[in-house]
Amino acid sequence: MRAVVWKGPYEVTVDEIEDPRVEESTDAVMRLTTAAICGSDLHMYEGRAPIEPGQVFGHENLGVIEEVGSAVKSVRPGDRVVLPFNIACGFCFNCARGFTNACLTVNPHSHGGGYGYSGMGPYRGGQAEKVRVPFADVNCLKLPGKPGDAFEDDFVLLADVFPTGFHATEQARVLPGDSVAIFGAGPVGLMAALSAKIRGASEIYVVDAVAERLEKAQALGATPVDFSKGDPVQQILDLRVPHRKNVQNLQRGAGDKMPGVMCAIDAVGYEAWAHDGAGKTQNPTQVLDDVVAVTNPTGHVGLIGVYFPQDPGGVDEDAKKGRFTVALGNAWEKGLSVEMGQCPVKKYNVYLRDLIVAGVAKPSVLVSHRLPLDAAPEAYRKFDERTDGYTKVLLKPQQSAA
């Protein structure tokens, strides 16, 4: 079969590799109809995360079950399913408590497993024609309809970015009427904006410097903030003035002492850009500083952006070892709650699927390109460069390059 294979920094190819097979009685094999390129794939693409040549990429996987092991009960060949990017056993201490993002069974070296991703076990990714699905009863979410229908591009986003964006709003404890600042208008940041809207937030600000991304944020009902035009924290404080006059100033002193937002989300992570106007200097703690600065006392912060414990391309020795300086004193003084980490997709994917089917949410609005598998090398390059409107790329393994 064909698959997207990492060769080295900034180099992926589409190679012929051995087909996956049922290795355990609890396995299934799925034929891919759509696989997405994720922003977090770029960390590996750039060589900014530990990875060995030959790794098959792809953790956002949608398709049809082709074969199942003898112990699989809930899915059958022909079933249409989407896979959470977390691989989980369903029965370990963490899975039993709902933390399928930290399964203790599937990864021999650490907690948590996933498809085609650095440090998440020995599993191939799904940017390929087929993929092996461990613990298929746990990891397959059955879907209505048929491949290629009106929901195809929505359903693939249930593998990661839609649940992850929703989880970010859980981390930041977004409630109806809340004010929210989201740093990063990549796919997860845009899905956090959509999720904040679904949860009833009254003000949503999305920070980025890529025009196409900010346009999509505005289309989702958020207020775009271009950090290339000035300090985004100050921009948000200025934009909030009318809202503070209308609401917070009804209670004496509240407006002056609560000028920021109640909820902030870091959807960027350690590859953040400094606010130098040029967008060419990385500062891994830039967004950490910003979310602390923009959040009001007693507010809530969600760090859904990736912070790896190792970064070979880090800007200094601390960054290379996953050590980041944070304005902890300011956060403590404000009494902020801070939650971080990977999304447990199974906690949300059933409910978000039903929002899609009901027409309440259409996450595929963020999709910019639909390409055959053979176009993956060029798609990675352009997505990494943030050029030609590449905001979210879907690969169609059954589609001909012609």
With a CB cutoff of 8 Å and minimum separation 6, the contacts of 15 are 2, 3, 5
Average pLDDT over residues 174-190: 96
Per-residue pLDDT, 402: 46
Whether 27 shows a pLDDT value over 80: the answer reads yes
First-to-last CA distance in the chain? 18
Question: Is pTM beyond 0.85 here?
Answer: yes
Architecture of domain 163-340: 3-Layer(aba) Sandwich (3.40)
Reported as a single tens digit per residue, the pLDDT across 268-306 is: 998 888 887 555 688 889 999 999 999 999 999 999 998
Q: 108 in helix, strand or coil?
A: coil
Residue recorded with tokens 């390109």: 369
Q: 199-226 pLDDT, tens per residue?
A: 999 999 999 998 999 999 999 999 999 9
Question: Mapped to the 3 state alphabet, what secondary structure does 193-262 carry?
Answer: HHHHHHCCCCEEEEEECCHHHHHHHHHCCCEEEEHHHCCHHHHHHHHCHHHHHHCHHHCCCHHHHCCCEE
Q: What is the mean pLDDT of residues 341-351?
A: 96
Q: Which of 105-119, 134-148, 312-326, 366-380 has the lowest mean pLDDT?
A: 312-326
Residue spans per domain, the chain: 2-160+344-396, 163-340
The whole-number pLDDT of residue 119 equals: 83
Residue with tokens 């076990």: 121
Q: In the chain, what is the greatest distance between 2 CA atoms, to the nearest angstrom?
A: 69
Predicted pLDDT at 386: 82
Q: What are phi and psi of 372, to 5 degrees?
A: -70, 160
- β-pair partners for 303: 266, 340
**Each residue's pLDDT tens digit, 246-275:** 666 666 656 578 999 999 999 999 888 888
Residue 320: pLDDT band by 50, 70, 90 thresholds?
Answer: confident
CA distance 402 to 392: 21
Block residue for tokens 């990875």: 51
Pick the CATH number of 2-160+344-396 from 3.90.180.10, 3.40.50.2300, 1.10.3720.10, 3.90.79.10: 3.90.180.10
